[in-house]
Structure 1
Amino acid sequence: MFSGFGFIEGTSTEYEWILNCLKEKCEEFRELIKSNQIRSIDANDISGGKGFISKVYKVDITFDHFDTKPFEFIVKIPGLESLNQVLEEEHFPKHHEPNKEQENNGMQLLANIHNNEVKFYQLYSTIPNLKLLKVYGSRQWVINKQEGALIMAYSGQESFSIPLHESMNFEQMSHLIDQIFCLQTYFLLLPDQTWKETFVFPFSPDHLDGMTKLIQHNWNIVKNFVNEEVYVDISDHIDNLISNFKNICTYNTNILINKPHNTKVFVHGDLYMNNILYGKFGNDQQEENDLRIVDWQLVHAGNIGSDIARSLLTGTSPQLRHKMEESILPKFYHNIVLKATAHQVKFEMSWEMFKENYNCHFVEQSLHFLMVVAFTMHQINTSKDSQQLLEIKKKAVGMKLCTGLRDAIAICKKFNQTWISDQH
């Protein structure tokens, strides 16, 4: 029988801590161990495509009664191994080896991001109608002292996320927009607004410099698998947009958000399709394609247009996105005004300010889209598809991306031409 001691291989996360968390937080597990003894615990690394700044382990607990179904769950442990592997395999150039201070700063950023997610789950895992996976345990990462970890429900073999080369349909995206509305209005209506100081934007200007290099590298990759006529007429504007990435982010984070009558909302920060799971979750769920939102590491008090722009840009076809921008955005704004008014909460944002928020963040998100391309290409390249199918998938991602960049440039031409101007 299992002794109750030991660690997940290659980590310092103890099985004893995991079992104690399950006993405390998971009723199903408590019922199982009333009539069963644990025979074994097996943890398998399933990180490929499921996390780039974390290792994701699927853990199976088997019992002495062989007719008892194994208990399955997920343990997520933060670290740079998966990210570094992708960057190496996708040939991202290293300009120089980081010194000790830079390494420590990078690790601290990663720890802060993980601890942000831990804090979110500890404080807000029971928001009404917000679709989350159950969390059975969490531990903050204290560098050189304690490894961070999250213990979460397993979403099941049948759960899936829609790959980036495909797109959500109207119903799926509408459901996701409803979740963004649920998240934003919950925090807007809270009597205690200290969450705005608790959850802050995690990246500094120095981090944005490194992101710019990654975006430029990824754009060079994209140009290798999309037809030149798709982007040739806007090529200079795209290069200028990339070089202005830091300026765009700084404007949105420090200037736009602080304009009169603008309002900070609670932002997920990484709502693209890899972080939306579909499936049947739990015995009480009847919908086969219910959703769950995962990876809450980048949550922060931010801009009302950020999550919507990222979701629509990466999650829908350009044709559907254009239609939903016309129909969903006014409805979203109108419903927030109604909700705030009904609860006597001050909300002074005009429709024009709401649309400015969306437009400015759409421009920023078009560049963030470029940032995740390396990871998307890694998922496609490591699949077992034929070369012909690989090329079709890459072109589909490239077309969605280039159309987004074209629309971002059109926004800049109308509202802020400096973002597509050569700043050198």
Structure 2
Amino acid sequence: MSAKFDVHDKLCDTEFTIGWLLDSLGTNDEKFKENYGNRKISNVSVRDISGGKGMFSIVLKCEISFQDSKDEKDIYTTIVKVPGSYVFDEMNEKGVEDAPKAEYLNIPEMHTTEVNFYNIFKNKVPKILPTVYFTQLWIPGKHQGCLHMEDLSKRGAGLNFYDCLNHAQIKSIIRGMAYFHKELICCDEKSWRGKFPIKIEMYENLDRFVEMFSKTFKGYLKNDHQLDQFNSYLNDSKLGNLIRNTEFIKYIVLQSHIDAGIPSTLVHGDLWNNNIIFKRDSNGFISNDIEAFLDWQIVQEGNIVCDFARLLTCSCEGDIRREAETYIFEYFVDCLNSELEKVGNPPVSYTAKQLKEVYESVFIMHMMHPIFMMPLFFATKTSVPEEKTIDEARIDRCILRAFHTCEDAKRYANSGKFDKWIN
């Protein structure tokens, strides 16, 4: 049987070739070398499985079949993640009105951050990371970047933006966070401290950020009542000021936790549905147990509470989020201290009460996240006619999620605790 592929063929629209992929597997993937290395390959197929989910990259699933394959399931699969501004480009190509631009994001630098993270931590926290075989930096004008990693789809799956976490899943995520932070405390700090600085320039031009993404979000609102309601949040004398206040936002990410007695640590920075893989159960369905945390491209040394706010505002409906807020901080501290006790370390110096106090300001900062992420997902989602009404219901749900976030952010903003930041 002759091969049905050309080693010079590109992996979709990237610079990487099938030949490069096979070389990487043969050099870096021990499982492939041990179990498949002596089998003759009959075909290599590649498809983009991002489906509009990857804001800063495309994810390519590569399937390798063999001349002696017993059936269509007797294949080997692997993943190549290639960074780029694909979602933003697609929105502009589709003519989405007021589509946001990716120009203010340094995506090559974000990819470098993720490469550095995996190079440092792939052996330190294997329980919550995929196996990464090979990394390449993105040097514009010279070559594309990539992460070549294991395919988790046989034993895990992720949720969509419009899905809502349940409480068992939230607690599993918190246990994963506790494991990660235990390892940070126990390992040599020199391996990571000072190597993942906050990209503080991301918080400049907040007026432009709010204006750009709120315009896109307004395109999904169904009536004047919703529009008036949304505008009332954006233009609230306190909330509207705080979400546009660069100095307030910088204080939150750089100093608020320290003032509360919580040390700076590594923060995932983008911990929500799309970047979490859950284990599959015996029937192949998504379970409540995490398999891995993905997409570490904005990992940073800073305020740990940011991960709680991103997770809850972007992955939960209002009722689930509000209920989770009653237990999530206590549960995290208990899990972290339990992890530390197992290895003979003392408990952390901060309490759940301190985390919860910092959460209010961090929540205000995260108000815009469910607002700007919804258009990024739905504007690039391709729906068949049968799914039109389903997606309309999903959009309604996401609008309500955003409104509940705005409602609570307004309550925190009007508490009087942050009046000194109001211009």
TM-score by length of 2: 0.84
Residues 21 and 178 (structure 1 numbering): CA distance in 2 closer, same or farther, change over 3 Å? Answer: same
2:139 is equivalent to residue 142 of structure 1? yes
Aligned to 2:167: 170
- In the other structure, the counterpart of 1:78 is 83
- 1:47 offset after TM fit, Å? 2.7
Structure 2 partner of 1:39: 42
**d(CA) in 1 for partners of 2:375 and 2:320?**
25
**2:258 aligned with 1:253, yes or no?**
no
Task: Give 2:276's aligned residue.
Answer: 276
Residue 34 and residue 322 in structure 1: after superposition, are their counterparts in 2 closer, same or farther (change >3 A)? closer
Q: Distance in 2 between matches of 1:120 and 1:398?
A: 34
Deviation at 1:247, TM superposition (A): 3.9
Match 2:24 to one of 13, 21, 25? 21
Closer, same or farther in 2 for the Cα pair 1:339/1:87, shift >3 Å? same
Q: Secondary structure at the match of 2:325?
A: helix
- Let me know the Cα RMSD of the aligned residues: 3.5
**Quick one: distance in 2 between partners of 1:377 and 1:44?**
21
- Equivalent residue, structure 2, for 1:213: 211
3-state secondary structure, aligned to 1:8: coil
CA spacing shift, 1:18–1:87, aligned 2, 3 Å: same
**Whole-Å separation in 2 of the counterparts to 1:147 and 1:332:** 39
User: In structure 2, what residue type is equivalent to 1:371?
Assistant: F
Picking from 87, 94, 102, the partner of 1:89 is 94
**1:257, 1:263 within 8 Å by CA — same for their partners in 2?**
yes
* Paired position in structure 2 for 1:412: 413
Letter of the 1:271 partner, please give it: L
CA contact (8 A) 1:55 1:77 kept: yes
CA distance in 1, matches of 2:188, 2:251: 29
- My pick for the range that moved more, 70-79 or 84-93, is 84-93
Change (3 A) 1:318 1:412: same
For each residue in 1:163-220, what CA deviation from the matched residue of structure 2 results, as whole angstroms up to 9, or x when unmatched?
3333111111111111122222221332324523111223514465653333322342
Local SS of the residue matching 1:322: helix
Relative distance call for 1:266 and 1:321 in structure 2 (3 A) is: same
CA shift for structure 1 position 351? 4.6
Q: Tell me which residue corresponds to 2:66.
A: 63
Superposed displacement of residue 313, structure 1: 2.0
Q: Any gaps of 5 or more consecutive residues in structure 1?
A: none
| 3-state SS, counterpart of residue 304 of structure 2 | coil
Residue 265 of structure 2 corresponds to: 265
Is the CA contact 1:272–1:314 (under 8 Å) kept in the aligned structure 2?
yes
5+ long unaligned stretches in structure 2: none
> After alignment, is 271-280 or 214-223 more displaced?
214-223
Give the TM-score normalised by the residue count of structure 1. Answer: 0.84
d(CA) in 2 for partners of 1:117 and 1:273?
18
Residues 1:328 and 2:328 aligned together: yes
Superimposed CA distance per residue, residues 125-176 of structure 1 (whole angstroms, 9 cap, x where no aligned partner): 2344632222222111122222101112223378543333331111111111
Q: CA–CA distance in 1 between the matches of 2:421 and 2:371?
A: 16
- Once residues 397 and 225 of structure 1 are traced to their aligned partners in structure 2, the CA distance between those partners, rounded to angstroms, is 15
Cα distance, 1:85 vs structure 2: 0.8
* Cα distance change on mapping 1:232 and 1:10 into 2, 3 Å: closer
CA–CA distance in 2 between the matches of 1:185 and 1:159? Answer: 24
Q: Map 1:1-400 to 2 at 5 A.
A: 1=3, 4-67=7-70, 69-89=74-94, 91-93=96-98, 106=105, 109-128=106-125, 130-156=127-153, 159-204=156-201, 205-206=203-204, 208=206, 210-224=208-222, 228=226, 234=233, 236-237=235-236, 240=240, 244=244, 246-259=246-259, 261-280=261-280, 290-291=289-290, 292-336=292-336, 343-344=344-345, 347-378=348-379, 382=383, 384-400=385-401
Does the 8 A contact of 1:136 with 1:153 survive in 2?
yes
Query: Which residue identity lines up with residue 413 of structure 2 in the other structure?
Result: C
Contact 2:260–2:358 under 8 Å retained in 1: no
CA distance in 1, matches of 2:213, 2:25: 41
Shift in Å, 1:398: 0.9
Identity between Structure 1 and Structure 2 (%): 20
SS of structure 1 residue aligned to 2:326: helix
Whichever structure has more helix as a proportion of its residues is 1
